Amino acid sequence: MRNPWAQTGNYRTSYEQDTSIFANYREAVSVALLLVALCILPMFLERSQVLVLNFILIYAIAVLGLNITTGYAGLISVGQAAFMGVGAYTVALSAPSLPFWLTVPLGGFAAAITGFIVGIPSLRVKHLYLALATLAFQEIFVWVVGRSPALAQGAAIPVEMRNFLGLEISFRNHNYFWYYVILFVLVLVVIAWRNLLRGKYGRALIAVRDNDRAADAMGMDPGRTKLMAFALGAFYGGVAGGLLAYMQRAVVVEEFTLGRSVALLAMAIVGGLGTVVGSILGPAFIEFLRLYVERLSEWMKSNAFIQSITPAGVDVASALLPLSFGLVIVLFLVFEPRGLYNWWRLVRSYFRNWPFRY
């Protein structure tokens, strides 16, 4: 038998091996080391920096869901923020009477049921028409929340958790506590994602995406597969929304508008559609880009020379942020449609083969 630690490639000889979660031991160890690093990372960060990580991890969960619906099943959805909203409002309404480890999955299930219903048009329409159906749901969600006194008509519903198993949660440890909770949930949903996609349901998603009539001829049920894709994607969104509600201490409808849905889609595209790594790299890239452009913008504003060369009345520094976002998305679509995942794959294969070129 080959030494498993000396593998330089995949030597899969059976179906079981082909469907394993990790390709080799090295990959398993790398993931374990990454998790350890993520666990100790907050020790070196300020509270507000941990907050940024929390947002990245929450968006990663939502983007993973979007990657099931759009990345794997090929069903364009611009309603992921609304699914997050369904989860968040479910959490807001149930949090006074239930513990968070029940409310968050409950939010996911509520979103999944909604996703199942929203997915029904996917049985009849495809592509841009389906995108319009999800867009309609996104707008209907905001409309319904805005007219529901039970949901404070879109204004804030507080979601506070002050105590967990005797641990007092205050401003000082709020971000740290939720970081570990969100990380734990992310690990769970990633495992579930990988588990789903290595089985027959995952392959059915790909088959239906590539050609639903051929998939039907091969004994798969395209309708059920599409509805399942919508429900699962929405479940991930609902869980992300529930966590966001706790992390932000309140739910307001402005968090779940079309702009957020488009941002999530942009994160999925930048990260690389249909990949776990891309689902995490995309949100991280967009959030860090926002941070660094913001700093650059502030530096430009305070720099007398830059201010002196820009025309009067033109605020270049403020325009930098929206400009850079648009530019990044367009550049990725044109030059690297496979997203950051492809860069990650190239770097990994370089080190795998090092010192040999091939």
Q: Is the Cβ–Cβ distance between 123 and 228 less than 8 Å?
A: no
The interface mask with other proteins, positions 317-356, x = CB under 8 A, is -xx-xx----------------------------------
Query: Does the footprint of other proteins cover residue 255 (CB under 8 A)?
Result: yes
Tokens 């941070």 -> residue: 291
Taken as a whole, the chain contains a residue count of: 358
Site residue total, other proteins (CB under 8 A) = 35
What are 145's two structure tokens?
């929340």
- Stretch touching other proteins by CB under 8 A, among 92-100, 202-210, 249-257, 268-276: 249-257
Distance of alpha carbon 139 from the chain centroid: 21
Rounded CA separation 87/82 (Å): 9
> Which of 11, 21, 39, 46 forms a contact with other proteins (CB under 8 A)?
46
What are 212's two structure tokens?
């639903």
Binding to other proteins, residues 175-214 (CB under 8 A): 175
Give me the least distance between CB of 281 and other proteins, in Å please: 19
Give me the least distance between CB of 188 and other proteins, in Å please: 23
Query: Does the footprint of other proteins cover residue 156 (CB under 8 A)?
Result: yes
Closest CA to 161 of 84, 101, 239: 101
Query: Does the footprint of other proteins cover residue 168 (CB under 8 A)?
Result: no
Cis peptide before 355 (omega within 30 of 0): yes
Give me the least distance between CB of 52 and other proteins, in Å please: 6
Composition of the chain by helix, strand, coil, percent to 5: 75, 0, 20
Give me the least distance between CB of 251 and other proteins, in Å please: 8
Q: Is the Cβ–Cβ distance between 73 and 276 less than 8 Å?
A: no
Contacts with other proteins by CB under 8 A lie at 46-48, 51-52, 55, 146, 152-156, 158, 160, 170-171, 175, 248-250, 252-255, 290, 294, 297-298, 312-313, 315, 318-319, 321-322
